C-alpha cells in the first residue's frame, strides 16, 4: 500500500490491539445525514479528471500537492474548532457492543494518529475536512477492493473534495463543531479501514475480512450514492458511475 505506507505499517504493527480487528465494524457514521451525499444532484461522474486545468502531467500532480491549501474553497473546508479526537473516537465506538467499545475507541485514536502522519507526509493543509473525507473514501475503497491508493491519487482526491465541498448545501450549513466532527471521524474511520486491510494481509481472517468489506461497501455507498462497483480512484482522482469513453 503506497498510501502513507510507512506510518500505517507502523500503526498496524505496533500498539494496535490484535483483537481490534475481530470486532465487526460499526455501520456508517451517524453524522452522514449532515452532508451525504457528497455530490447532490450528480448521478454520473462528478470528476472526469480532465476538467479545470485539463492536465494529467506529473508536474500538475506535484503542484496540487504543494499548493493544496491554496486550492479553490480551501479556507471554506477547514475545521476551525478545537480538536476532540478522543470524544469523537468514543462516539464512533459507541456503535458496537459495550465490551468492545474501549478497544475500538483506542484503535480509532491510533488510526487518527496514522492519518496525521499521512497529512504531514503529503504536505496537506491541517484540519481540512476535505482531507478527512478523502481518507474515509480511500480507506473504505482499499478495504473493499483489496487495492492500494497511491499518494498522488489521494492528493488528487482531496483536491477534488476541497473544490466540491463548498458547493454542497449540507456542508455549507454545518456548524464549526460539526465540521470538526466530520473531519476527525472521517479520517479515523477511513484510516482504520486501511490499517485493517494491512492487518488481514499479515494475518488472514476470512470471516472478519468479509465483515469489513461489507462495512466498507455500506460506507462508500452511503457517502457517494452509487453502487460500489461504480466507484473508482486512479491517478485522476475519484470517478463515479460508468466509465466514460
Per-chain mean pLDDT for the chain: 77
Confidence of residue 153 (pLDDT cuts 50, 70, 90): very high
Whole-number Cα distances in Å, 67 to 2, 106, 111 = 21, 33, 26
The mean per-residue pLDDT over the stretch 33-42 comes to 56
Name the residue with higher pLDDT: 200 or 61: 200
Q: Which of 42-46, 62-66, 149-153, 217-221 has the highest mean pLDDT?
A: 149-153
Residue 149 has pLDDT above 70, yes or no: yes
Q: Considering the chain, what percentage of its residues have pLDDT values greater than 90?
A: 41
Residue pair 221/227 in contact (Cβ under 8 Å)? The answer is yes
Q: Find all residues with CB under 8 Å of 148, minimum gap 6, and list them.
A: 1, 2, 3, 142
What is the pLDDT, as a whole number, of residue 224? 85
What is the pLDDT, as a whole number, of residue 25? 66
What is the pLDDT, as a whole number, of residue 19? 52
Confidence of residue 243 (pLDDT cuts 50, 70, 90): low
The mean per-residue pLDDT over the stretch 207-233 comes to 89
CA distance 190 to 195: 9
Q: Which of 56-60, 102-106, 147-151 has the highest mean pLDDT?
A: 147-151
Amino acid at each position: 500500500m503506497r498510501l502513507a505506507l510507512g506510518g500505517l505499517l507502523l500503526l498496524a504493527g505496533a500498539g494496535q490491539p490484535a483483537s481490534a480487528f475481530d470486532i465487526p465494524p460499526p455501520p456508517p457514521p451517524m453524522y452522514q445525514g449532515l452532508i451525504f451525499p457528497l455530490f447532490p444532484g450528480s448521478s454520473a461522474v462528478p470528476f472526469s479528471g480532465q476538467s479545470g486545468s485539463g492536465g494529467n502531467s506529473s508536474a500538475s500532480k506535484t503542484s496540487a500537492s504543494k499548493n493544496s491549501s491554496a486550492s479553490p474553497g480551501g479556507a471554506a473546508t477547514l475545521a476551525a474548532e478545537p480538536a476532540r479526537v478522543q470524544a469523537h473516537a468514543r462516539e464512533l465506538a459507541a456503535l458496537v457492543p459495550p465490551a468492545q467499545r474501549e478497544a475500538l475507541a483506542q484503535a480509532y485514536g491510533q488510526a487518527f494518529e496514522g492519518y496525521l502522519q499521512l497529512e504531514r507526509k503529503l504536505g496537506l493543509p491541517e484540519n481540512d475536512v476535505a482531507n478527512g473525507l478523502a481518507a474515509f473514501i480511500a480507506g473504505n475503497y482499499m478495504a473493499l477492493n483489496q487495492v492500494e491508493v497511491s499518494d498522488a491519487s489521494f492528493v488528487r482526491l482531496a483536491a477534488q473534495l476541497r473544490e466540491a465541498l463548498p458547493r454542497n448545501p449540507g456542508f455549507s450549513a454545518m456548524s464549526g463543531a460539526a465540521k470538526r466532527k466530520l473531519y476527525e471521524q472521517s479520517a479515523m474511520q477511513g484510516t482504520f479501514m486501511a490499517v485493517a486491510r494491512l492487518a488481514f494481509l499479515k494475518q488472514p481472517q476470512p470471516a472478519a475480512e468479509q465483515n469489513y468489506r461489507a462495512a466498507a461497501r455500506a460506507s462508500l455507498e452511503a457517502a457517494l450514492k452509487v453502487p460500489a462497483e461504480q466507484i473508482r480512484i486512479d491517478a485522476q482522482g475519484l470517478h463515479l458511475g460508468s466509465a466514460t469513453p
